[in-house]
Structure formats: structure tokens, C-alpha cells
Structure 1
Amino acid sequence: MTALDTAAAYLGFRSHAVLAETATDLLPKFALSTKVGFFPGAGGTEHSLDPVRLRLAIEKAARELGREPDTVLLHNPERSLAGMSPADGQALLGSACTALVDAARGGLCRTWGVSSWDSRPLAMVGVEDLPSPDVLMVRAGFLVGIDLLDTTAVLLNAWQAGETWGMSPFGGGNGKVWAAFDPRPFLQPPHDCLSRAQAAFRTAFHLPSAAAVAVGTDNPGHLAELVQALGAEVDTTAVSQYLRALHGHRQS
């Protein structure tokens, strides 16, 4: 493992401090990404795209981690865009992106990006005129619907993001799905003998096409199993047929 992804809001807003305490002198050896956008509020947690709050959150992240993160991602900006007009949403998202651009230029991080659980609101605000992120992180894998996959493709083309990262390839660990569905036919031989979890993870790099896919680290055995799957080759023809089938089912 060479990369770690976290967020300011994880572990009850303690993730940065816990990670720094746990990893200590090993932390600089990892490429480190984090996310900002959620803040402690009177009712628990609130979301904000206010550029001043985002800048302060990035500065706080660096202090708590004991180092500047390599990448800072805007955490689920769609939460603040809901119900806004496209023009107002574009202005709000633009100011938030500019705050992250300025943080990168100021040395608070090396690159910046956006992490979105539901990219559809982002595609509606017209991102063509906004700063292009270095990274766009989206849900990936078989449990992502074709509407969201198509919207992500449109967003990537319009925004010209540098890299795509995937997340949540198992849909929150829904074991019933993987007991009923076998994704191993999407791997090329001899790798089709791997486990269903390994096949689902490896294929997630193609749904959508992603340079990296983030998974949880709470189960070391599960994590080791997934790392072993990285050498497997995906049958891209099967993936293309799968996507065509999803489009056909939607149209019917």
C-alpha cells in the first residue's frame, strides 16, 4: 500500500489526529488525500462550500496530520448545491473550487479535486467554465447505476479532470449482492478463479475507468485479498457488453 485516503469528517472529525498518531513517522511515506466540506454543527454535522471555511479546514488538516496532504478533495459538494438554480450553483461551486486552487498554489497541498457521491447535481451547474480538478472521485463498481455512470462520463468530459478515482466498490459491504451475483466472468483467465470480492474490486477500475479505487481498511484480511487482485486482467469486452445491456434495459 502506498496511498491513504481520509476526510476531515471521518471518526467524528478525529480522523486526521488519529491517523497522525497511528502512522507517526510512516505517514510521510504515503501519498495522502483528504476531503473538506463537512463541519461540526449545532445539529451534528453541516455542509458548507464557503471558501473561507474550506481554507481554514485545509490549514487545520495540515496541522493535525503534521504534514500537508498531497491531495485535498471537495467533499460531496452536491450536498450544498441541492435546490439551487444552475447559475447560483455554478457560482457557489466555482468559489469553492477556487479556494482549493489557491490552497494548492499556496503549498497547502500538491493537487486538488472533487469527491462526489452523486455527480448528477454537478453536471447540472455547468462546470465547463470552472477550474478543472486534478482528481474527480466518484462511486465505482457494479452497484453504480447506468444513469450515474453516464452522468459521470459527461461530467468528466466537460470538466476535463486529470484523473478519476473510484470509491465504495462494494456498496457499503452489501454481502447479499455478492452472494447472489458472481462477477468473476469479467476477469480474463486464469484470474477468473479469484474470489467474488476480488473480481468485483478489480472490475470496479472499469466502472468507470479509474486510476485508483478506495476501499476500507478496517479489515486487514479483506484488504490483503483485494491487493492480491490488482494483477488480474479485466475482460474489457465483457464490461462493454455489460454497459450496453444496462443501456438497453433502461431504454426498454
Structure 2
Amino acid sequence: MSPDLALGTYRCRDIPQAAAHAAACGALWIDTAPNYHHGQAQTQLRPVLAGNPDLRVSTKVGFLTPDIATAASDAQVLTPAEAATGHCLTDRYVTWQSRRNTAELGRKPDIVFVHNPERAVRPHDAIAEAFTALEAEARAGRIGGYGVATWTGFEDAFSVADLLAIATRCGGPGYHMMAIQLPASLVMLKPVAQVLDGTGPLAEATAAGVDTFISAPLHGGELPTMVTDELAQLIDPGTTPAEAALRVTASTPGVKHILLGSGRAQHWKAAERVLTLPPLPDKTLHEVIDVLGA
């Protein structure tokens, strides 16, 4: 089954317009975070979410903006030392931020991701503390579930198996850990190479029934200018560099949702067309990996 296209709001310039367009195109998910768009992303999404009750939303806990740090400090859930780091995953802060997310979004988040826990001095301990808080929120019905969104964490800080073990310790067999988010692209090819060998986070998540969200499939919009015509033709003859790059991510086994950070109709339409195509053969993916030396 082909992955679906979701809106990612990290580098989205016009969030209300992009969200409205994504909803009109039948997108199932919007992904955001309290620190995106100078701390305004969630409140900007609120009207679109209110008008589209079937649209699901994932958000995050972890990073602080100056306004968040001030509000959390005033609420006595953040120490000056924690505020100075710009990132916090203590149980008291995670609980506070999760409820603040709900207030800003105007609805219960379907997933709350623990954001880049690899930044912590002891990532496993930080994840456990955050999972404990989020498990309580899920059991109280204030969030749908939780997971981990990471940039490099699966390289050396933790594995999906680690996350599941921590979730079991924090929530027992009925835990609400349900998803991971990570980059996979022509720049970040390691997860692609791993899953083709039956290893890595995508393979582990698939085996465990954990949902997968792929961030930065076009590496922040930079990939189309980095893909040569020769590479594009190797991937899919006759395609554009952007479409070729997205085709690799869409063809990667275990990918369920691809976050596109654009609200432009032409970009969304082109991406939708790519996702309707059959996946590339594993042989082609291996050739791309060999060419790029991943």
C-alpha cells in the first residue's frame, strides 16, 4: 500500500493556507510542534482543524521558544537551568506542554511526539520520563497516543526496540506508544538502506505495528537542486528531480506517511501523482544507494 501525503509545518511559510489546501486535497494528517513558526504554528492551525474534524493532528513536546520558556517558568514547571538549554523532557514540563498544545490546537492531539530526545544527556532516561507523563495523559483521554520524532536518534541513541521496552516499563502491555517520525531521503538514505536489509527503525516499526512518519523527504526543499539529471533518470526516466527524490522515499518499505512542507497547489499535486505510482523495485533503490555511497 502506498504511503499517504501529510502536511508538515516545520518550514511551511503560510500555515493557514497550506493547511486549508491540504484538507481540501483529502490529507489525513497535519504534523506540527509548539516551537514551529516562532511558536505560532498551533494557533494558526486551529481554525482549519475546527473546520475539519476528521483531519488528524500530531504535535510534539521538547523544544522551547522564549515565550514557552517564560510561560513554563511562570507555571513553575521549568527551572532556569532547564530553560537555558532550550529543550526539556521532564515529566512536569511534558504534562504542562501537552495540555498547552491542546489549548492552542483547540482539540485533543492524536499523537504527541517526544521531540529529538537524543539531545538529552541520558536519552533513555529522558524518554522514560516523557513517556510516563504522556502515558498518563493518554489514559486520561487527553491525547490519542505518543511516540518519538527524531533527526539522528536512531543512528546511535536508541532503537525502536528500546522505545517499545521503555513504553512497556512506563505503561505496561497496554501502552499508548504508537508512532515514530524520522527523516528518509536521498540525503538521509541510511534508513532506506537498512530497511532493504530488514533492519533499522522502519523494519522494526513495521514488525511491531508502529506507525511511521517521514520528515524532510525533500530535505527542506533543497533536494531538487541537488539531484542531477543522471540520478533522476536512474531513479525514474522522464521525471523531474523533485519527483525522483520523492519517489525514492515513497518506495521505501515501511513508510506510512510522508510530510510535505509546502502549501503550493502545484507542489501538492505533483507529490500526489508520485504517490499514486507503483513503488520502485528494490533493485533500483539499491542502485541509488550504491551511486550515492550510502
Shift of residue 60 of structure 1?
A: 0.8
How many angstroms apart in 1 are the aligned matches of 2:191 and 2:246? 21
CA deviations 1:157-196 (Å, max 9, x no partner) are 6674612211101112114312455335435xxxx54433
Q: Secondary structure at the match of 1:47?
A: coil
Spell out the pairing of 1:49-88 with structure 2 (5 A cutoff). 49-80=89-120, 84=121, 88=122
Shift of residue 71 of structure 1?
A: 1.1
In structure 1, what is the equivalent of residue 45 of structure 2? 19
Q: Secondary structure at the match of 1:224?
A: helix
- Pairwise CA RMSD: 3.1
In structure 2, what is the equivalent of residue 35 of structure 1? 60
How many angstroms apart in 2 are the aligned matches of 1:232 and 1:149? 21
Task: Identify the range of structure 1 (174-183 vs 47-56) with the bigger mean alpha-carbon deviation.
Answer: 174-183
Contact 1:28 1:67 in 2 (8 A): no
* Aligned-residue identity in percent: 22
Change (3 A) 1:199 1:244: closer
Shift of residue 128 of structure 1?
A: 5.8
Contact 2:202 2:254 in 1 (8 A): no
Q: Which has the higher contact order (CA 8 A, sep 6+)?
A: 2
Contact 2:114 2:127 in 1 (8 A): no
In structure 2, what is the equivalent of residue 173 of structure 1? 221
5+ residue gaps in structure 1?
none
CA deviations 1:221-247 (Å, max 9, x no partner) are 212211122111122223452376379
Shift of residue 147 of structure 1?
A: 7.8
Shift of residue 142 of structure 1?
A: 1.1
In structure 2, what is the equivalent of residue 142 of structure 1? 186
The answer to whether residue 127 in structure 2 is matched with residue 93 in structure 1 is yes
Q: Secondary structure at the match of 1:209?
A: coil
- Taking structure 1 as the reference length, the TM-score comes to 0.80
The number of residue pairs the alignment matches comes to 238
Instruction: Decide which of 242, 246, 260 is 1:215's aligned counterpart.
Output: 260
The answer to whether residue 155 in structure 2 is matched with residue 115 in structure 1 is no
Contact 2:247 2:280 in 1 (8 A): no
The one-letter code matched in structure 2 to 1:66 is G
How many angstroms apart in 2 are the aligned matches of 1:56 and 1:181? 50
Contact 1:163 1:211 in 2 (8 A): yes
- Taking structure 2 as the reference length, the TM-score comes to 0.69
Q: Secondary structure at the match of 1:142?
A: coil
Contact 1:216 1:223 in 2 (8 A): no
In structure 2, what is the equivalent of residue 183 of structure 1? 232
